Amino acid sequence: MISTSKAKIAYPTVFLFLGLLLAYALLYYLFSASMLNEVIVILIGAFLAYSMFTVVHESSHGNISRGNAKFFTLEKWIGWVSASFLFFPFSAFKVIHLKHHAHTNDSEEDPDGYVRGKNFMIVFFRCLTLIGHYYTTSLGAESRKNEAMRKTRNQTLTFILFISTIIIAMVVFKFWYEFIIVFLLPALVAAPILGFTFDWLPHYPHHNMDKHHNTRIVTIPGLEFLSFFQSYHLIHHLYPRVPFYLYKKKYQLVEQELRNEKSPIEGFGVNELKVLKPRNTYADIIQDKTWKYSLEVAQVRKLTHDSAEIQFENLNDIPYKFETGQYVVISMLVDGEKVSRCYSICSNPNSGILKVGVKRVSGGKLSNRILDHLSEGKYVNVAGPFGTFKFKDETDVEHHVFIAGGSGITPIISMLQKILQDEITNVSLIYGCKSEKDVMFHKELIDLQNKYPNQFSLKITYDLLTHTYQTELLSHFEKANYYICGPTPMMEASKEVLSKKGVASDHIIIEEFSYQEVKPFGNLYNVSINNKNFSVYESETILEGAKRNKVAIPYACSMGQCGTCKCELEKGKVVWKTDEQSVLLENEKKEGFILTCMCKPKSDIKLNS
């Protein structure tokens, strides 16, 4: 392991900062003395601004002070001065960048996802306007909903006033031309280059959200110096407190682990992948593992007056692998909070296409959001596949009976399509709906009935599937497996009927996932932070307690991976729910710093952020 907590200060970064300041002063002198023309000065200045970004970047992660409190003020000033050469406030950049780490490739919450585009011109335009996007992020309407960003708004406005004052002074004292050529234009040239090399290039194609695949490592010799070691970008995301000049050394220590994870390691060496191939980041889906992606919606097809089928684009024409009856988890922002729900896959696994069925639910947080806002070309976070509601092809079973109600047909239509195509016989479906207009996949079911008349029997009813009615419908089935999915009363009636019928439990396969909020429990403690007081149960994290009490405190990832919620514990005791965090060094933890998303109270506590 590389020891990064013992270093008193990151001297290489400090020397880089001082060297760049001297270089700017020399460049200004040479231009003022007419020893260099405008084009040369702008190009050199752009390289200096590009280089200065590394100082800003290191400061935002606390990688200059290395967690040593006596260097915090120095690091903050270095961050502000270096960011000023890029004409953006340091405090706002820090929040934006840590949010990028918290939500890398997230379709809604990654601020650097702005640079994603389907062609070169879109990417170029977005890289060109990235600085404007950052200002919009830091001052726009959405920033008022983010506590971390809201705390920086006044600093951003002050910074704008400061820069405006500098520009006015340059004009008044007739230094405006030198200011534009040496500082302003180089920063404007460097900004889109930084957007491309730091935001777009390492994360291309911007789909995978898994920590081992959401960015890449490129080992081409010499590239690490040109990119200030950002060619080892995955190392930075996995170990954000490692200084940039140690990325390569850290990579050499964990290389085998990364290869085991099939991380995108690209270059010209042995066992290295071709550079910038999208498939390099799709290793988990190719290997038939569970995955988490930002997926593009290929089609939204209306099924009924209150339901739709959502189809997602295949990544690089790679077929999706899943079993019938499985589901995916879709996550979207609803009123500023990320909401996740399970949706059954309704497509045939043999097709390699991923589709889900979504039905409007009264008061439903996510289903209604999906139906109202998702359309072709939009991106949404999807994870999966999950679930054990699977078809059982057993030799002692003569019949396969499916019982569905309402949207419970969604996983069952996937099963039916596959098993009928695979020539499974004696398949029956009993499907209960409120009315004909509520029948999801009506056409598909009729088509299956017509295509497989000797294998499949279909019963669609608009009567409630009560205990009495199901007793009648299921009376003639023997030696069968029963697959049940639908409203709870219907499923309870199914289980009771089958139990009385003498059907063994291992022949009853039930899908019943529902969202249940876990209620906190245990001792209740008082938490004080920034003059805000609220109560937190010992079973929940400080952040969870704050959310429950509707108290706004800074946070981003909620997983101990970004550091936005870092606070100093002034009084009281906490317990870490897990040691899996990558942003606090051991010396910082010893000095009393905690993450509110990872710590639970063990007494009344006082925090300082």
As a whole number, the mean pLDDT across the chain is 93
Residue 356 lies in a domain: yes
* Residue 409 shares a structural domain with residue 327: no
pLDDT of residue 257: 96
In a domain, 2, yes or no: no
Do 366 and 449 have their domain in common? Answer: no
423-480 residue pLDDT tens: 999 999 999 999 999 999 999 999 999 999 999 999 999 999 999 999 999 998 989 9
> And the tokens for 342?
């399970």
What is the DSSP secondary-structure string of 472-501? Answer: HHTTT--SEEEEEES-HHHHHHHHHHHHHT
Q: What percent of the chain has pLDDT over 90?
A: 83
Nearest to 212 by CA among 165, 265, 249, 278: 265
Number of compact structural domains in the chain: 5
Query: pLDDT per residue over 112-170, tens digit each?
Result: 999 999 899 999 999 999 999 999 999 998 888 888 888 899 999 999 999 999 999 99
Q: Residues 336, 340, 346, 349: is their CA dihedral positive or negative?
A: positive
Residues 446 and 560 in one domain: no
Q: How does pLDDT run across 320-363, given as a tens digit for each residue? A: 999 999 999 999 999 888 888 999 999 999 999 999 999 998 88
The pLDDT score that the predictor gives to residue 337 is 85
Whether residue 201 sits in one domain with residue 63: yes
pLDDT tens sequence across 551-593: 988 888 788 888 889 999 999 999 998 877 778 888 888 888 9
Residue 547 and residue 483 share a domain: no
Whole-prediction pTM: 0.89
Burial of 526 (0-12, 13-18, 19+ CB in 10 A): middle
pLDDT band, residue 515 (cuts 50/70/90) = low
Largest Cα separation within the chain, whole Å, is 100
Q: Does 194 share its domain with 245? A: no
* DSSP H helical ranges for 183-271: 185-194, 223-226, 233-238, 247-260
CA distances 392 to 384, 388, 414, 454, 538, Å, are 21, 11, 14, 20, 43
What pLDDT sits at residue 578?
A: 83
Residue 516: pLDDT band (50, 70, 90) is low
What pLDDT, in 10s, does the model give residues 518-537? 789 999 999 999 889 999 99
DSSP 430-444: EEE-SSGGG-TTHHH
The CATH number of the domain holding residue 422 is 3.40.50.80
Residues 113 and 190 in one domain: yes
Residues 313 and 418 in one domain: no
Q: Give me the pLDDT at residue 170, please.
A: 92
b/e 117-156 (16+ beta carbons within 10 angstroms → b) = eeeeeebbebbbbbbebbbebbbeeebeebbbbebbbeeb
Residues 495 and 597 in one domain: no
Q: What are phi and psi of 134, to 5 degrees?
A: -65, -40
Q: Tokens at residue 551, please?
A: 């108290």
Asked if residue 596 lies in contact with residue 576, where contact means CB atoms within 8 angstroms, the answer is no
The residue out of 358, 386, 414 marking a domain boundary is 386
Residue 279 lies in a domain: no
Q: Please indicate, yes or no, whether residues 187 and 56 belong to a single structural domain of this protein.
A: yes
pLDDT tier for residue 5 given thresholds of 50, 70 and 90: very low
- pLDDT value of residue 7: 52
Owner of token pair 């207009």: 437
**Does residue 138 share a domain with residue 31?**
yes
Question: What does the pLDDT read at residue 4?
Answer: 45
Counting residues of the chain whose pLDDT is more than 70, the rounded percentage is 98
Confidence (pLDDT) at 559: 81
List, for residues 199-226, the tens digit of each pLDDT value: 999 999 999 999 999 999 999 999 999 9
Work out the average pLDDT over 20-24.
98
Measure the CA–CA gap between 565 and 593, rounded to whole angstroms.
10
Answer whether residue 2 shows pLDDT above 60: no
Structural domain containing residue 504: 399-510
d(C-alpha 87, C-alpha 45), whole Å: 13
